[in-house]
Structure 1
């Protein structure tokens, strides 16, 4: 018997919920470097640590793309 978890699903990014403010690229880049260092020694066999690192990197990557787009608009 399986459990339906679709009702409990919360996406990592929801444009209606998440802020549209984009930090400057130099700030996001500095934070990304800090995040990489913070998760560099995470135990690959620790499920919680891997989830935390993946979510953190996903959010930071989204911020990096937004900051790059804001800094150099594509026409």
Structure 2
């Protein structure tokens, strides 16, 4: 007997449902530094700890890239 698990799949990022809000770059960088410190002592052999850290880092990295893109587009407009 097989169980269809396709309905349980949920992506890390879904542009249709995730907030388009982009925090200012300085705030995102400060949060990224805090997050790195928070997960630094995580046990690399603990699957759960690594999964939690990876998902959290993924979200933070996505915010960081969005903030950098926003900052870059703002500087391009100011330079035009």
Normalised by the size of structure 1, how large is the TM-score?
Answer: 0.91
State the structure with more CA Rg: 2
Identify unmatched segments of 5+ residues in structure 2.
Answer: none
* Structure number having the greater helix percentage: 2
Distance in 2 between residues matched to 1:2 and 1:25, nearest whole Å: 47
Secondary structure class of the residue paired with 1:62:
helix
- Please list the CA deviations of residues 16-47 of structure 1 after superposition, one character each: whole Å capped at 9, or x if unmatched: 10111100000000000000000001001111
TM-score normalized with structure 2 length: 0.85
Give how far 1:63 is off: 0.1
Note closer, same or farther for the CA distance 1:70–1:54 as it changes in structure 2 (3 Å cut): same
Q: Identify the residue that residue 56 of structure 2 maps to in structure 1.
A: 56
In structure 2, what is the Cα distance between the partners aligned to 1:32 and 1:43? 19
Q: Which runs of 5+ in 1 are unaligned?
A: none
Report the equivalent of 1:10. Answer: 10
Q: RMSD value over aligned CA atoms?
A: 1.7
SS at match of 1:72: helix
Q: CA deviation at 1:57?
A: 0.3
